[in-house]
Structure 1
Amino acid sequence: AAHLERVEVVIEPETPAGCEALEKILIGEDVSERLDVTPAKFRVIVTRRPKYAYKGWDGVFQAAAPARIIESGIPTEALLAQIAVSKYADGLPLYRQEAIYARDQVEIDRSQMAQWMGKVGFELEPLADYALTRIKQGERVFADETTLPTLAPGSGKAKTAYLWTYLRDDRPFGGSGPPIVAYRFEDSRAGECVARHLDGYRGILQVDGYAAYNRLARSDRGNDGVLLAACWSHVRRKFYELHAAGSSVIASQTVAQMAPLWAAEAAVRGQDPAVRIAARQEKSAAVVAALFALWEKELPKLSGKSKPAEAIRYALGRRAALECFLADGRIEIDSNTVERAIRPQTITRKN
């Protein structure tokens, strides 16, 4: 890792007996590198604000106290950042952090840290709003949602809430903007939530097959104009589960025929949209057409309640949204990008 600091340690050999008076000439050296780490270390910041009085002047003079996120509290902003990143980015729950800090004889109660995180969340709200605003300025936005257990006030019991995730990443089609992700906590999974979050957005929305997102594409809604693009990975998973179980010939055939789609995508990732469209028309369009022809042919032969029939109906019902990527180079073949962004939160959910 070239970006890391290098600390050089030179180990000189002992002078051989009888060579003390001779001139020493460097003819070479052996160099090796090892990765080192400096463990996190607690310290106490002592802030002194002297008070002064001037002869011949009334009053006391003192510098103003610096602003703090936790007024009259002990944590510095660095400690708050450490706790927040450990919990929300690294999936390290507060009770484990409590035990880790105790090893350094620093006692921080988990309930105290929870209160701190609530205050940090409040202070970061403007940044979260700005992130979502920037995301909505993109040409294409990914969206997904996941469950998030939360305590019901006054009951002492957990209820199911939802974490909605919105992500912008223009790099796959050659864009230069930085990737941005924003999260929104809601008690509901209803379409009203995503309509409110993406109010005013008019671009491409790439999602899984959840019906709530359909609301944004309807002409009678305030978000009229959103183009929904579907996820081929979700389609593949339904067939792959049957293929892995060895329970469906049509599923195995589907999985095999789908493979060239991702191979074609890998070759043009990061390219200009026009290049991506040309490659998809050359390599992927025929594969997609053959898949839909296969499903339409085989569906009447299957029991309506069978798993293969369910998988086929899932794909056929989203055909227009699945075929979008063939005509628009900004669209990805799947929504795996946002799933990767939501995965750290699912780890935290288990903790």
Structure 2
Amino acid sequence: MPEHLPRYEVLLDVERHDCPCCGGALHAIGELRTEQLDIVPAQLRVRVTRRPRYACRACEGAVVVAPAPERPIDGGMATEALIARVVVGKFCDSAQAQMLARQGVALDRSTLRSDVYVRRVGRACWWLTPLYDLLVGTALSAAKLFADDTTLPVLNPGRGRTKTGRLWCYAVDDRPWCGPSHPVAAYVYTEDRKGLRPAGRLAAFRGVLQVDGYPGFKRLAGDRADASVGLAFCWAHMRRYFYEFHVSTQSPLAAEVLAQIQALYAIEGQIRGHPAKHRQQARQERSRPVVEALHTWLQAHLGRVSATSDLAKAIRYALRHWSGLTVFLDDGRVEMDSNVVERAIRPVALNRKNALNRPGFVGNCNQVAVSSR
């Protein structure tokens, strides 16, 4: 261990100081010492800058106060130390070896890929297994669930390249309608994107599933003879097709659709945080007329635009998913989109390359235990 690092001692002494054989008094003849590398977790704190103000009782004509210190970011709440930590963490510490090297601990990058390191990481994640199982069980027992997936590069030794796995996220967030459940995001790793993967994981699920247009979710709901799974599709996904067409063509027709969707989101912003019954009533009175008018507009314009155009594809996508897009009108618990799970899965997606350098996380699916929350 580097000599310059500070030490602290933990004394583990015997409970009794009499001989277990004859009962005589024991005397110290030495000790066994072992050293382990430890870390003190960073702690956020608030720096309060006080600037006393002074006034003259004689003339009452002046108020004196020390000038305000210059901030690294005008109006920002972060100190220099916090900004430095964010910058170092983002650009310098993608590899753990670099972080430890600044403290004088030499750790070769090959060590991070060694079997010993993998076992250590796996052991640490093993301790999280009960909590992970609880998070997954809590998410899948909810009556309303968000689901989505993303790609995950996985080390494939011996082939000279990576293979692509899938990371599924199952999320619950009842805060927009004052529901009873705590927010949960549970991740599940699979080797591919076959429909049987979510179908197997959601075999016991009963309720509303908020998703994108992935066919595997549609088959899951269609295979339930008791209609125990209802699909609520995402307006954000539907909107994206019209938005991309409008950006590339400045189409007034696409702009008209975007304006109607924006009106719906404006209503959602006003009722977010209200009970489900209030949200349902507001949607029936204010959102339903907009949705019905948009449906009529889409049907009328589908035959007026080129069948091979991207606008026609966007309209067909919307009409094909219309029953799922309108579920939110009749259920105050349902959101207009699946952005909850999109936000939950984004940090994992941004960390793809960093996770690739941790075979103990990806190779045996330990990343799902670490990422779930």
TM-score (norm 1): 0.74
How far apart are the structure 2 equivalents of 1:98 and 1:122?
23
Q: How do 1:16-55 residues align onto structure 2 when only pairs under 5 Å count?
A: 44=7, 46-50=9-13, 54-55=18-19
Q: 1:131 pairs with 114, 135, 151, which one?
A: 135
Q: How do 1:254-265 residues align onto structure 2 when only pairs under 5 Å count?
A: 254-265=257-268
Q: Describe the shift of the 1:249–1:102 C-alpha distance in structure 2 as closer, same or farther (beyond 3 A).
A: same
SS in 1 for 2:326: helix
Q: How do 1:252-331 residues align onto structure 2 when only pairs under 5 Å count?
A: 252-331=255-334
Alignment gaps of 5+ in structure 2: 27-33, 42-84, 355-373
Q: Is the 8 A contact 2:92 2:99 kept in 1?
A: no
How far apart are the structure 2 equivalents of 1:119 and 1:327?
47
Residues 175-226 of structure 1 show CA distances to partners (whole Å, capped at 9, x for unaligned) of 13210110011111111111122221101110011111112212457x9511
Higher RCO, Cα 8 Å, sep 6+: 2
How far apart are the structure 1 equivalents of 2:273 and 2:351?
31
> Percent identity among equivalent residues?
39
Q: Is the 8 A contact 1:216 1:224 kept in 2?
A: no
Q: Which residue of 1 aligns with 2:219?
A: 215
Q: Which residue of 1 aligns with 2:105?
A: 106
Q: Describe the shift of the 1:236–1:245 C-alpha distance in structure 2 as closer, same or farther (beyond 3 A).
A: same
Q: Describe the shift of the 1:172–1:331 C-alpha distance in structure 2 as closer, same or farther (beyond 3 A).
A: same
How far apart are the structure 2 equivalents of 1:212 and 1:43?
55
> Letter of the aligned partner of 2:234 in structure 1?
C
Q: How do 1:80-159 residues align onto structure 2 when only pairs under 5 Å count?
A: 95-113=94-112, 115=118, 116-159=120-163
Q: Describe the shift of the 1:50–1:333 C-alpha distance in structure 2 as closer, same or farther (beyond 3 A).
A: same
* Higher mean displacement: 279-288 or 323-332: 279-288
Could you tell me how far 1:108 is from its partner in structure 2?
3.4
SS in 2 for 1:284: helix
Q: Is the 8 A contact 1:276 1:329 kept in 2?
A: yes
> Letter of the aligned partner of 1:54 in structure 2?
D
Could you tell me how far 1:48 is from its partner in structure 2?
4.4
Could you tell me how far 1:249 is from its partner in structure 2?
2.6
Q: 1:160 pairs with 148, 157, 164, which one?
A: 164
Q: Which residue of 1 aligns with 2:82?
A: none
Q: Which residue of 2 aligns with 1:250?
A: 253
SS in 2 for 1:301: coil
Q: Describe the shift of the 1:216–1:98 C-alpha distance in structure 2 as closer, same or farther (beyond 3 A).
A: same
Residues 262-313 of structure 1 show CA distances to partners (whole Å, capped at 9, x for unaligned) of 1100111111111001111111111111111111111112222211111111
Q: Which residue of 1 aligns with 2:210?
A: 206
Asked if 1:175 corresponds to 2:185, the answer is no
How far apart are the structure 1 equivalents of 2:92 and 2:147?
26
Across the two proteins, how many residue pairs are aligned to each other?
290
* Higher mean displacement: 268-277 or 120-129: 120-129
How far apart are the structure 2 equivalents of 1:128 and 1:190?
23
How far apart are the structure 1 equivalents of 2:91 and 2:125?
17
Q: Is the 8 A contact 1:161 1:186 kept in 2?
A: yes
TM-score (norm 2): 0.70
SS in 2 for 1:185: strand
Q: Which residue of 1 aligns with 2:344?
A: 341
How far apart are the structure 2 equivalents of 1:42 and 1:76?
10
Could you tell me how far 1:122 is from its partner in structure 2?
2.7
RMSD: 2.9
* Higher mean displacement: 283-292 or 109-118: 109-118
Q: 2:21 pairs with 24, 32, 57, which one?
A: 57
How far apart are the structure 1 equivalents of 2:193 and 2:10?
47
Q: Is the 8 A contact 2:267 2:287 kept in 1?
A: yes
Could you tell me how far 1:253 is from its partner in structure 2?
1.2
